[in-house]
Homo-oligomer: A and B are copies of this chain.
Amino acid sequence: MSHNTFGHLFRVTTWGESHGAALGCVVDGCPPGIRFTRDEIQAELDKRRPGQSRFVTQRREPDEVKVLSGFVLDEDGETMITTGTPVSMLIENVDQRSKDYGEIARQYRPGHADYTYDVKYGIRDYRGGGRSSARETAARVAAGALARKVVPGMVVRGALVSMGEKSIDRANWNWNFIGDAENPFFTPDPASVPVFTQYLDGIRKAGSSVGAVIEIVADGVPPGLGAPIYAKLDQDIASGLMSINAVKGVEIGNGFEAARITGEQNADEMRIGNDGKPVFLSNNAGGILGGISTGQAIVARFAVKPTSSILTPRKSIDKDGNDVEVMTKGRHDPCVGIRAVPIGEAMVACAIADHYLRHRGQTGKGIGSRE
């Protein structure tokens, strides 16, 4: 990945800060003939505002995406058809008021990139986190909405599986519950909602924050995507997930658990199924063996750290070399991990779409000739 681009054949470049005029992405290498609507892209973007609950800080931004290039309109005047040229998408920043950033401009918030930006570049846009703003992720989600359409039959979904000390009960897993209006957490476990609610209310009232673990599952991925060594599918998924703000860990399949169990327990056995096709008897591998997809569901998880924007003063320093106490003022977001669910989906979708095209390029195998 170069600085602001990821992907090899399905390439996404994003740009923009939270307080500039706009932000956006350019999706290059998209196959021609992909049909989509602006509303479909928008629907993905809207998922980043779950439940409109008290648990997620809302900047008053409509996040309306404009599609500027790379398509022709179908006769219905609404469906866009990609032409194979770059698809540029843009989201204007409505709220660019220059409030008084006073101290923040000179102080380094602990756990933020303020200090490292200044060390690296000698200059930074301190308003709203600059390039590290969560708003940048809107651009990825827009790109991911296109990526989902590149691989026929692929469905990419995500869920929050733990929040701070609390975890879901996997026995209750229900994908349909995730979009439920009563579910502000992207949790797949209905029983977890009251638990998370009470827990996060406590965190919020204490002016504190917690992290979260998100799981992404991609179904319908054809076998054969990836490569044995440095273009492993799991590696590129891990790279994409680690590129999300505040992510500190990534697992594929059973992940770190694999390091604790034996070879007998870990290896996924195989049988020929009734339809004569290979069947795996388990999926500890998370759908990837030797860097190449097996045809099983791709499973990845990532850990999001708690935001360090908390209401308790923390020790830090300022640009001039003074010791200071830094404290976030106003509203705060007790669990930024919640929003990370659609972002993780987008990154996984983009990685798989890229490898789908790369596989087709090197081997000439498409979805129709997979055996």
Chain A residues proximal to chain B, CB less than 8 Å = 1-6, 8-9, 11, 13-17, 20-24, 26, 28-29, 31-33, 66, 68-70, 72, 81, 83-88, 90, 108, 110-113, 115-117, 119-125, 130-132, 136, 162, 164-165, 203, 208-213, 223-232, 234-236, 238-239, 242-243, 245, 248-256, 258-264, 266-272, 276, 278, 281, 285-286, 288-295, 303-310, 312, 314-317, 321-323, 337, 357-366, 370
Contact = CB atoms under 8 A, between A and B. Distances in A.
A111 B289 contact: yes
A243 B248 contact: no
Contacts of A312: 264
A230 B364 contact: no
Contacts of A263: 111, 208-210, 306-310
Contacts of A130: 83, 85, 228
B203 A262 contact: yes
Given A20-B68, A120-B226, A276-B321, 16 more contacts: A1-B235, A4-B28, A15-B26, A15-B88, A17-B69, A32-B121, A72-B124, A84-B121, A116-B292, A117-B228, A132-B228, A249-B255, A258-B304, A259-B305, A267-B314, A361-B362
- The oligomer's copy count stands at 4
11 contacts: A83-B123, A111-B268, A116-B290, A120-B225, A130-B228, A208-B264, A238-B250, A267-B310, A272-B322, A276-B321, A360-B364
A164 B262 contact: yes
Given A230-B6, A290-B132, A357-B362, A248 B253 contact: yes
Nearest to A11: B2
A259 to B, nearest CB: 4
Given A2-B230, A239-B236, A271-B323, A266 B362 contact: no
Contacts of A281: 315
A256 B248 contact: yes
B212 A259 contact: yes
A359 B123 contact: no
A-B pairs with lowest CB-CB distance, top 6: A113-B290, A361-B361, A111-B267, A116-B292, A211-B259, A209-B263
Contacts of A120: 32, 84, 223-227, 292, 359, 363, 365
A327 to B, nearest CB: 12
A243 to B, nearest CB: 5
A294 B115 contact: yes
A250 B228 CA distance: 18
A72 B228 CA distance: 17
A260 B210 CA distance: 7
Given A31-B362, A285-B111, A360-B361, A211 B123 contact: no
A69 B235 contact: no
A192 to B, nearest CB: 15
Nearest to A294: B116
Given A110-B270, A263-B310, A303-B258, A15 B86 contact: yes
A33 to B, nearest CB: 6
B26 A26 contact: yes
Contacts of A115: 270, 278, 289, 294
Contacts of A260: 162, 164-165, 210-211
Contacts of A28: 2-5, 13, 15
B306 A84 contact: no
A308 to B, nearest CB: 4
Given A132-B228, A259-B213, A86 B119 contact: no
